[in-house]
Amino acid sequence: MQDVAEMINRWKESQDESFRVVAFGSSNTELSWWSNGRHNWVDWLYINFRANIGRNVTVINQGIGGDTTQLLLNRIDRDVLSFGPSMVIVTIGGNDAAKGISLEQYKENLERICSIIQKNNALPVLQTYYCPIYEDGIEGFEKLFEGFVQANRDISKKLELPLIDQYSNFEPFYRRHKEDYKMIMRDWIHVNYLGNFLMGLNASKALGLPELEVPEDIQDDVNFLLGKM
């Protein structure tokens, strides 16, 4: 498996070169009005890259709400490959599960996405979702969704790809403290600004970046939430 921290360290040592990271996914990635003026996890990661690696790193948000693995495949040329990225963080699966896409089809599509990225000299990084509030969601969603989460882990291992396993951090919190967990959710399937900050923390750690600086206005909430995770 390629050492992501080593790769990013090379970027830091190559300030005369330009490196692009594409965040490729659906609504949990997308830059949109519903953030209410707050950063999402992609923004936090971008800030961390610029502050600690250099201005030679650009993070491009290519999330589109409602997308499935098939829709990512349909637009991968335009929205990913056209930028000549060095790294692509793929976060997808919620809409596949909601639309009843089979686990086998999901795996096939996700592996194909990773293969296309690799063939274009970029590193795919798979990322699992946080944990939805299952009891408020679609009947039968939990079992299928957890299968998709595991598929990301399995494909990461099979293809020797880096994995940002958000679910492993969020799911125990959800199971143990369901009322407190609602603090980080905008609705049953989307995180709010606090959840996005926690995702940024987890992604930064997984990629070997320093911890995020917590803004003063959310320090108390973040400290409380981290105590529950």
Percent of the chain with pLDDT over 70: 99
Q: What is the pLDDT of residue 122?
A: 97
Given a contact cutoff of 8 angstroms between Cβ atoms, the answer to whether 128 and 164 are in contact is: yes
Going by pLDDT thresholds of 50, 70 and 90, the confidence category of residue 2 is low
Is the pLDDT reported for residue 86 higher than 60? yes
For the chain, the structural domain boundaries read 4-228
By C-alpha distance, which of 46, 36, 63, 88 is closest to 194?
Answer: 36
Vertex 89: Cα angle to 85 and 92 (nearest 5): 130
Given a contact cutoff of 8 angstroms between Cβ atoms, the answer to whether 92 and 72 are in contact is: yes
Is the pLDDT reported for residue 7 higher than 70? yes
Going by pLDDT thresholds of 50, 70 and 90, the confidence category of residue 60 is very high
What pTM does this model have? 0.96
Q: What is the pLDDT of residues 148-184, one digit of tens each?
A: 999 999 999 999 999 999 999 999 999 999 999 999 9
pLDDT, mean of residues 1-24 = 92
Cα–Cα distance for residue pair 127/81, rounded to 1 Å = 19
| CATH class, range 4-228 | alpha beta
Dihedrals phi, psi of 59, to nearest 5 degrees: -105, 125
Q: What is the pLDDT of residue 83?
A: 98
